[in-house]
Structure 1
Amino acid sequence: MRMYQVDAFTDRLFAGNPAAVLVLDDWLPDDLMLAITQENNLAETAFAKARSDGAWDLRWFAPAHEVDFCGHATLATAHVLLTEAKAEAPLIFHTRVGELRVTQGPHGYRLDFPRLPPEPLETLPAEIARVFDNPPVRIFRNFENIFADLGSADAVRSFVPDLASIARLGRVGLVVTGQEADNGRAHFVSRYFAPGAGIPEDPVTGSIHATLVPYWGERLGRKRLMAFQASARGGWLDCELTEDRVFLVGNAVTFMKAMISLPNGAL
């Protein structure tokens, strides 16, 4: 069984966010897909299967469980389908969060995601109330994560996560974000922690920008924003906001092509 490992949201190897991709003829058992993901020891492994209508079904697994939405593994899958499987753009993916589209442009792959506006949050959950040295400027959430605006990009970069406390949120992750200084290339930066899903810190996370872009777009009065995820590997996202969609432009490079040898009786 062929598998690819792709660095997403980067134009060079050893940067961005790595994801594994498998293109299947038929779905594998869920427990086997989870086992493959755990063996890969990456934040996400994507599994894609062609549909009769020319679109694709797409599922994502983290080491702890299947996830509802993953941006960088969507980008990685599109890269594999267009460069290895000889599929043609635009690609249409059917997922748990609805239909996602990926096209190709002069500056990279263009991902079309649903706009997930920030939902007000009055107080931090007790599990993470003490993880901040200083209270966040603002807190909000979407259906799968809690967000904390720390007030500046420097505060985001220097944030030291208490992973044990964050893990008590279970499947909910924590995003910290802040506005970049006026002389910075990015308009805002972020970091993402989801230890409850087996992801201590995600290098570059496309899905959180479906909420970050509406948040910062409103605060800064912009429809086009440049975002930087300030993990150790780091990654850039060129973002565009419309009334009901968020568009992200990014690149991807293939790091590895491999064959999985499944034991007899695994399927």
Structure 2
Amino acid sequence: MKIKMYQVDAFTEEIFKGNPAAICILEEWIDENLMQNIASENNLSETAFCIIKDDICELRWFTPEEEIDLCGHATLATAYVIFEVLNYPKNSVKFETKSGILTVEKDGENITMEFPSREGIEVAITEQLIQGLGKEPKEVYKSRDLMAVYDNEQDIIDLQPNMEGLKLIDAFGIIVTAKGESSDFVSRYFAPLCGVPEDPVTGSAHCTLVPYWSKVLEQNKMIAHQLSRRGGLLVCEYTGEKVKISGKAKLFFKGEIFID
């Protein structure tokens, strides 16, 4: 069996920055265990598997440890491959996913994804979370992820989480965020239970970040930076029911997987 695979750096204009994702283009679905093994072998935060169709494409995402319900950077990377490499004839594509139908549009070099809003509910700050993150946040909210809010950007930069401690937290991933200095807000993202200690740029986390900061900043359009080592830029808009996330991407390589 041969599978075409591409690696794309998402939410960046340069290779070696943003968040790398692998994209496997399939003719039909293969065994889930095989998809998981491919994702584990790639050892990137996400590997996307996509079946391209004329109407609605099918898309799934796998971390090195498990399949997940929503991934922003791998969706952006998949759309980039479809639009820029495979010459899809339209400027928009719809993906059927575990989070419903996602619409992605191309406008020049920018790709805009329309994702569900996942506004968090405020919860208590636990000693377990404080120990895991190494510094007490001022507020914590829960959606799919746990979002910890801090006073300023330097707090986010200085955090040195205990990954083993974060594995004890009852949440898919941990977002940390604060108001930005040169952007509207900043964040970092940790998901050690999924085999991703720190994710470079996390589109899906912004489904929770954007509704929160839209209320705090009293604005619907925002620029966000994720402060990982690689870094990433996201242009965000909150519509009330949806979160729009825009970014750019760069192709790193293309090739084939060979499976006996």
Taking structure 1 as the reference length, the TM-score comes to 0.92
Q: Is contact 1:170-1:196 (8 Å) kept?
A: no
Q: Is contact 1:34-1:65 (8 Å) kept?
A: yes
Letter in 1 for 2:172: V
Task: Map 1:202-213 onto structure 2 (within 5 A).
Answer: 202-213=199-210
- 1:245 matched residue in structure 2: 242
Task: Map 1:38-117 onto structure 2 (within 5 A).
Answer: 38-51=40-53, 54-87=55-88, 88-106=90-108, 108-117=110-119
- 2:167 matched residue in structure 1: 167
Letter in 2 for 1:219: V
Name whichever of 80-89 and 204-213 sits farther off.
80-89
Matched, 1:254 2:251: yes
Q: Is contact 1:171-1:197 (8 Å) kept?
A: no
Distance, in Å, in 2 between the alignment partners of 1:176 and 1:189 is: 8
Distance, in Å, in 2 between the alignment partners of 1:219 and 1:76 is: 30
Distance, in Å, in 1 between the alignment partners of 2:240 and 2:168 is: 35
Distance, in Å, in 2 between the alignment partners of 1:169 and 1:134 is: 15
Q: Is contact 2:134-2:162 (8 Å) kept?
A: no
Task: Map 1:114-263 onto structure 2 (within 5 A).
Answer: 114-124=116-126, 127-142=128-143, 144-169=144-169, 172-181=172-181, 184=182, 186-263=183-260
Letter in 2 for 1:70: C
Name whichever of 12-21 and 112-121 sits farther off.
112-121
Name whichever of 226-235 and 103-112 sits farther off.
103-112
Distance, in Å, in 1 between the alignment partners of 2:218 and 2:171 is: 32
Distance, in Å, in 2 between the alignment partners of 1:7 and 1:14 is: 7
Q: Secondary structure of 1:131's partner?
A: helix
Q: Is contact 2:150-2:176 (8 Å) kept?
A: yes
Letter in 2 for 1:161: P
Q: Secondary structure of 1:202's partner?
A: coil
- Give the superposition deviation at 1:168: 2.6
Q: Secondary structure of 2:259's partner?
A: coil
Q: 1:166 to 1:81 in 2, by over 3 A?
A: same
Taking structure 2 as the reference length, the TM-score comes to 0.95
| Structure 2 unaligned blocks of 5 or more | none
Letter in 2 for 1:49: I
Letter in 2 for 1:104: K
- Give the superposition deviation at 1:141: 1.3
Distance, in Å, in 2 between the alignment partners of 1:37 and 1:168 is: 24
Distance, in Å, in 2 between the alignment partners of 1:134 and 1:232 is: 20
Distance, in Å, in 2 between the alignment partners of 1:162 and 1:180 is: 24
State the 4+ residue runs in structure 1 displaced beyond 3 angstroms.
none
Q: Secondary structure of 1:199's partner?
A: coil
Q: Secondary structure of 1:260's partner?
A: strand
- Give the superposition deviation at 1:105: 1.4
Name whichever of 103-112 and 39-48 sits farther off.
103-112
State the aligned residue count: 257
Q: Secondary structure of 2:77's partner?
A: helix
Name whichever of 63-72 and 109-118 sits farther off.
109-118
Q: 1:133 to 1:199 in 2, by over 3 A?
A: closer
